[in-house]
Amino acid sequence: MAHGGGPSVDLNKCVITIGDYRVQFTAYQPDTSGSERLCQEFPMIGRTVLVFDIEEKKLRHQPIEITILRESDKKNHAHNHDGGTENHDHDKVLLVKPAQAYPAGTITIDANFNEPGEYNAIIKAGENKELTFELPLQVGGHSEMTQWVIAVVFTIAVFGFIMWHRDRGEKMKGAHA
């Protein structure tokens, strides 16, 4: 965990620290991983339930806004005709959960990550959104095809080991005869 009071993530427990406040983050991909608890890496694209559990009661009564952005689009700027830059926010925003208080302490977001890649959950808290934290997310590290190929390679390796071990045992029997 980082020191100095800045935003940080405890990777072992997936605890987000925003200023002096702690928020437990957990994600689920119920359609592909069932109830497996995920932190920042989601193996598949598709439906993902993001759960933020706010530990400190003081933070529960402050407005909290969460925006999910596609990271690869974060730096996507186009020059306009006046020589300035125009930010294409609508291209990168996956979803926005508008600012509101969560007295029960739990924020649940049902997101659909339809493309693999890097995303960012931006959490803004406080009356003036003075507390901000960016949580990097990796989506689709393993496609269904990749998982299938891994399963086939593993099966072939196990079969090869069994055959090798069997042949080795027969050779040893022949040597002792």
Helix (H) or strand (E) holding 164: helix 144-176
pLDDT tens, residue by residue, 90-104: 458 999 999 999 999
Using DSSP, state whether 161 is helix, strand or coil: helix
Q: How far apart are CA 40 and CA 135, in angstroms?
A: 8
Rounded mean pLDDT, 39-58: 93
pLDDT > 90: percent of the chain:
50
Q: What is the pTM of this model?
A: 0.65
Question: Where exactly are the structural domains of the chain?
Answer: 8-142, 143-177
Q: Name the CATH superfamily for 8-142.
A: Macroglobulin (MG2) domain (2.60.40.1930)
Q: Looking at the predicted structure, is the pLDDT value of residue 176 above 90? A: no
pLDDT on residue 142: 56
